[in-house]
Amino acid sequence: MNENNTGLMKEIMERLKNRRVELDISYQELADKTGLSKSTLQRYETGSIKNMPLDKLEIVANALKVDPAFLMGWEEIKSQKSKGVKIPVLGKVAAGVPIEAVEDIIDYEEITEELAKTGDFFCLEISGDSMSPRMVEKDVVVVKKQETIESGEIAVVMVNGSDATVKKVAIHENGLSLISINPAYPPKFFTSDEVKTLPVGIIGKVVELRGKF
């Protein structure tokens, strides 16, 4: 038996013993409930038997009034994977107001702990149809806060004191363009001077889209 299987069997043994003690069930009582011999159950619990067949595991789990997944440790793994970090969904972002100070929080979304460790995030609800059909009204984008992006990436951009807008950004030597996916909206080009004076600022990079129905 390899180390992984040995570790798994040890966990099963510990969970089995802890649950039996918790219910105050003796080996003989467990034997009566499962149809397995008292000595076999003892060997399972002490590790003398290095492998418990799945059919026997299910019988023992039922007698102990738990799901087989509990004895296997699967429920704990599932719980660990499901842990997430809640981040706010903003209806709009006003110019010059730090994200942390925005009070127009309309909902919350959850991202993984792994993603949350890579930076600061917020969500923004899509308004209008300039990014359709990829993004439509009421969809939510997950945004990583950052002031620079690569050309061609989709970002949340603040322009001239208006609310934040979600656009594909093309960076040129003499300025940048904000590009809508919907062809009904032509690209908007801003010179390098306009980027500084209006200003045109990147708030964050869109890293995920969550469709709403």
Catalytic residues: 130, 167
Conformation bin of residue 14: beta by default, left when phi > 0, alpha when psi is -120 to 50 = alpha
**In whole angstroms, what is the distance from residue 99 CA to residue 200 CA?**
16
Phi then psi for residue 51, to 5 deg, are -150, 130
**In whole angstroms, what is the distance from residue 138 CA to residue 154 CA?**
17
**In whole angstroms, what is the distance from residue 165 CA to residue 175 CA?**
18
Rg (CA), the chain: 28
**In whole angstroms, what is the distance from residue 81 CA to residue 112 CA?**
8
Q: Is the dihedral of CA 4, 5, 10, 11 positive or negative?
A: positive
What tokens were used for 139? 């969809």
